[in-house]
């Protein structure tokens, strides 16, 4: 499933194609949404905004196109008159005189008025966006120490969009690795310095992934490994999807475990804080 950095990059790409332009034609390939095609066609696209793992496209008449890519959704941008080369199922298309934005394979799409955003079942539950630059490490520490979240295992908490929206499975592995904490750790079991490390890792790794196109590994190390001929899948992360390979830091073998029915990767040599 695309995580916050991937949706933010998609929003920037889509925004560059359609923001500030009239939507000459809008296609909504859901029976319950077709009535909105006429209401959106001819309207200027005022803003394309990511919200965690969702995207909101605001039109000049106040309507918002909400989409969540879930597992398989993907946005494409083409020049006007060109169609993406894909076998996926088209869900949404927004065309102007220069470019088109296409959403394929997503099943969670809605058209909402401004007064409906706060009541949307996904949007209303979201916590602060991990990629919002106004969110600080101190804000995250406060949430980690709050009664709502302090007694929950980090493996579950880091996937809870009500805690910080935009985090997902690969970021969860990388945050736990960089903070050096064990998967079963809870914020209430950790000292202040470690909680601050977790908070900083949440923000820094998410924002690094946004900058680098998905690379969470130390930038200098990733660059050196790439120059040495390593494939992207090998140098991209500290631990995620590296089961059986040597840790970049300590040399121990990365292990794969299951946490919340999702794969998680752990270094037994580095992640010792909170071990019982």
- Enumerate the active-site residues: 2-3, 53, 262
Question: Which residues is 92 bridged to in the sheet?
Answer: 28, 103
* DSSP designation for 184: T
Residue 235 contacts residue 26 (beta carbons within 8 Å): no
List all residues 6 or more positions away from 66 whose beta carbon is below 8 Å from its beta carbon.
54, 55, 56, 108, 109, 110, 111, 112, 120, 123
Q: Quote the CA–CA distance of 89 and 34 in Å, as a whole number.
A: 16
Residue pointed to by tokens 């914020």: 187
Q: Quote the CA–CA distance of 89 and 176 in Å, as a whole number.
A: 36
Secondary structure tally for the chain: helices H, strands E: 8, 10
Q: Quote the CA–CA distance of 51 and 180 in Å, as a whole number.
A: 29
The SS3 assignment for 76 reads: strand
List all residues 6 or more positions away from 268 whose beta carbon is below 8 Å from its beta carbon.
252, 253, 255
Q: Quote the CA–CA distance of 267 and 255 in Å, as a whole number.
A: 6
């Amino acid at each position: 499933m695309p995580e916050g950095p991937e949706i933010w990059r998609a929003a920037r790409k889509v925004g560059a194609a359609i923001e500030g332009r009239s939507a000459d034609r809008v296609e909504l390939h859901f029976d319950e949404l077709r009535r909105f095609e006429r209401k959106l066609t001819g309207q200027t696209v005022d803003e394309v905004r990511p919200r965690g793992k969702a995207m909101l496209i605001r039109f000049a008449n106040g309507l918002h196109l909400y989409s969540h890519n879930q597992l398989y959704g993907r946005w494409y941008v083409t020049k006007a008159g060109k169609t993406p080369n894909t076998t996926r199922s088209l869900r949404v298309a927004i065309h102007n005189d220069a470019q088109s934005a296409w959403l394929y394979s997503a099943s969670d799409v809605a058209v909402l008025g401004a007064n409906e955003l706060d009541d949307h079942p996904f949007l209303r539950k979201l916590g602060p966006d991990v990629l919002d630059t106004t969110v600080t490490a101190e804000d995250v520490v406060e949430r980690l120490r709050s009664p709502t979240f302090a007694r929950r295992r980090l493996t579950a908490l880091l996937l809870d969009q009500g805690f910080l929206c935009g985090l997902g499975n690969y970021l969860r592995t990388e945050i736990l690795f960089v903070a050096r904490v064990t998967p079963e750790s809870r914020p209430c079991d950790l000292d202040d310095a470690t909680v601050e490390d977790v908070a900083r890792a949440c923000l820094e790794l998410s924002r690094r992934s946004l900058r680098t196109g998905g690379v969470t590994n130390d930038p200098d190390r990733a660059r050196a490994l790439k120059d040495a001929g390593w494939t992207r899948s090998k140098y991209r992360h500290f631990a995620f999807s590296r089961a059986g390979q040597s840790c970049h830091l300590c040399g121990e073998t990365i292990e794969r475990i299951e946490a919340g029915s999702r794969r998680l990767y752990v270094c037994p040599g580095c992640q010792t804080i909170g071990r019982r």
